[in-house]
Amino acid sequence: EAGVAQSPRYKIIEKRQSVAFWCNPISGHATLYWYQQILGQGPKLLIQFQNNGVVDDSQLPKDRFSAERLKGVDSTLKIQPAKLEDSAVYLCASSRYRGNTIYFGEGSWLTVV
Amino acid sequence: GQQLNQSPQSMFIQEGEDVSMNCTSSSIFNTWLWYKQDPGEGPVLLIALYKAGELTSNGRLTAQFGITRKDSFLNISASIPSDVGIYFCAGQPGGSQGNLIFGKGTKLSVKP
């Protein structure tokens, strides 16, 4: 089966600009996650969706980050305005249900200059 | 928040040697997972553990879910150059919504 698809793979923007990342999870997976991975660290959860509803967004910096999964399939993560410290890999992941094994996409690599 | 302590941070070994890394937590986890991440890629699942005491192998990789549910180890036998990468442990805490808590990773370098 096809894996988790993400785009774009790489993005360079100036601080205060905006950026959006797109994710298409594995077919049939109800749970979708966005993780942020800063260089040299493990991934950290930003937001978790169950179908089109938010399950956990406690670590999402809501003043600048937003995410949606309107039809319960694809998802978009937006950063506006970006800060230098937002430079990281944004990983989308999915699982069939909550508590099932989580599979990751290749990531979207953001550099804010 | 909950944290995982993963060690060692890095390893530099000779091809053919065995490797061992581990993760510990101050709280109980229901699931332990081990991922490998190559440069420029997302984490790829290696082994998933679902029961305390469980010992699971995947080729040259073996991982165990600790009896206390607060630790896990990963062994790689007879390392080869393509084992190079960063290995992450991850756990799903009890009562969680399925979210994973990650360790900081073990960077493995293999000298041919």
Q: What pLDDT digit, counting tens, does each position of B87-108 carry?
A: 999 998 876 667 889 999 999 9
The rounded mean pLDDT for chain B is 92
Q: Does B107 touch chain A (CB under 8 A)?
A: no
Interface contact flag, A100 B88, Cβ < 8 Å:
no
pLDDT exceeds 90 at position B112: no
Contacts of A41 in chain B (CB under 8 A): 104-105
CB neighbourhood size of B32 (10 A): 31
- Give the span between the Cα atoms of B74 and B21, in whole angstroms: 5
Which of B88, B96, B98 lies closest to A42 in CB terms?
A: B88
Q: What is the mean pLDDT of residues B48-69?
A: 95
Q: Which of residues 58-87 of A touch B (CB under 8 A)?
A: none
pLDDT exceeds 80 at position B71: yes
Which of A42, A55, A106 lies closest to B97 in CB terms?
A: A55
Output the pLDDT for position B1.
Answer: 59
Q: Does B33 touch chain A (CB under 8 A)?
A: yes
Interface contact flag, A95 B98, Cβ < 8 Å:
yes
Output the pLDDT for position B96.
Answer: 65
Rounded to the nearest 5°, which phi and psi values hold at A19? -150, 150
Output the pLDDT for position B105.
Answer: 96
Output the pLDDT for position A79.
Answer: 98
- Give the span between the Cα atoms of A30 and B17, in whole angstroms: 41
pLDDT exceeds 70 at position B28: yes
Residues of chain A with pLDDT under 70: 1
Output the pLDDT for position A99.
Answer: 74
- Give the span between the Cα atoms of B22 and A111, in whole angstroms: 32
Give the three-state DSSP class for A89: strand
Contacts of A106 in chain B (CB under 8 A): 40-42
